[in-house]
A and B are shown apart, each in its own frame.
Chain A
């Protein structure tokens, strides 16, 4: 029986030193994680708890911003209830999507009064808290017909939509990635729809790149430019990026790629990527 171990030996000999290619982004993701993780070394569970609390708080604040901005307008129910249903991505608009927009309004007008009251009590938080500057409600409506900030397609479970918008200069592994994402979709209910366009031109509409999520931990996001350089990264699920490079210069218009990993409440690892078209 033991003589069979020649196979094991052969494999061990040949493979114990086997190396595979490591994409440089992986270090970025790991390093930002251990920077934020340095707190874990001393603080153990606290860090995780904190981040959970923070995410929860962020959720409330985001909700509140919309109320605050729309204090004077009758659209507030629309906006607010959209926020309360993370699955309904704001600015739902497909090239032919104007009827969809209307159908969204229907149920949304039944916004929960309770939420409105509760959240509008804490407007101060908005200013001091995270900068969740979003668009004026009226403009949201406009953009839906104008820009397409998020190209959503509810029928398609993958996040990488809009192949026609991809530019070939983005690395070839993009297609590979999106294929893999399709395989993973059944695992994660969150992050099915990721933004793939944003317009940081200070017009009040879709000026920030953010990702909606709930209860994610171990969040990691990396944005790469067309030459695969990391131009932004964050370990905070409620990050927002205004399109400014670390040098302070505005990131040029073009197509970027972002890559994110996180764990959902069930500790499932979610790993996503999408192209991000930056239009100025």
Chain B
């Protein structure tokens, strides 16, 4: 029993019945990945830890509402993203100016450079972005939200979400060019 890996459904059931060890197992199973999510959204490590903690508390409190047919990891991930966004929201300013065409320049040339970077290098790159870019970029590129969902979640228009994403990419390109020319 002790170390038998439980599938998510069993784990959830055990957690709901108040099994503390199952709760810890669940935390340990998902925390590193979720910390990876929080780190991408938050500015400081401390803020990411806050988001992780709060996110897990919400996860446990809402566990009974989880419908077993969906992906549990995806469900937790959404909670984490939303929690991180709540923390960020008050400081985050998303500029709604739209200049999409300008931002549409070719990032393709940098693809090779990007694909050579490690995950943690990509994360540090993301973390240098201004709040609005970072959040939209994370949501769209990594989590795979649609611009419509992003717009609803953040309370902005869809075109703002799109332009933020494009700007984020333009920003990435600039950073990469700068770093490359520095070498």
Contact = CB atoms under 8 A, between A and B. Distances in A.
Given A6-B108, A7-B107, A22 B87 contact: no
Interface stretch (A9-17, A78-86, A203-211, A238-246): A9-17
A50 interface: no
B111 A10 contact: yes
B105 to A, nearest CB: 10
Contacts of B119: 14-15, 18
B107 A4 contact: yes
B24 interface: yes
B61 A40 contact: yes
Contacts of A156: none
B53 interface: yes
B151 interface: no
A12 B61 contact: no
The SS class assigned to the A binding surface is helix
Contact of A180 (B36, B39, B45): B45
B53 A20 contact: no
A235 to B, nearest CB: 11
Nearest to B18: A38
A103 B83 CA distance: 45
Interface residues of A, number: 42
A233 to B, nearest CB: 13
B6 interface: no
Contacts of A202: none
B123 A15 contact: yes
B32 A19 contact: yes
Interface string B10-34: 0000000010100110011001110
Given A34-B61, A37-B60, A269-B50, A11 B44 contact: no
Contact of B111 (A7, A14, A19, A22): A7
B57 A33 contact: yes
B49 interface: yes
Interface stretch (A23-31, A54-62, A134-142): A23-31
A14 B50 contact: no
Nearest to A177: B46
B54 interface: yes
Contacts of A269: 50, 54, 87
A15 B40 contact: yes
Given A10-B115, A34-B60, A26 B23 contact: no
Nearest to B15: A34
Contacts of B115: 10
A183 interface: yes
Nearest to A183: B44
B175 interface: no
A77 interface: no
Given A6-B108, A11-B122, A15-B36, 11 more contacts: A1-B104, A12-B141, A15-B119, A15-B142, A17-B36, A18-B119, A20-B48, A31-B23, A34-B60, A218-B57, A271-B46
Interface of A: 1, 3-4, 6-8, 10-12, 14-23, 26-27, 29-31, 33-35, 37-38, 40-41, 176-177, 180-181, 183-184, 218, 220, 261, 269, 271
Q: Give 8 nearest A-B pairs by CB, closest first.
A: A19-B32, A8-B141, A18-B36, A20-B35, A180-B46, A22-B31, A11-B141, A34-B60
24 contacts: A4-B107, A7-B114, A7-B169, A8-B140, A8-B142, A10-B115, A14-B118, A14-B119, A15-B122, A17-B33, A19-B33, A20-B39, A21-B35, A22-B32, A22-B35, A26-B31, A26-B49, A31-B27, A34-B60, A34-B61, A37-B57, A176-B45, A220-B53, A271-B49
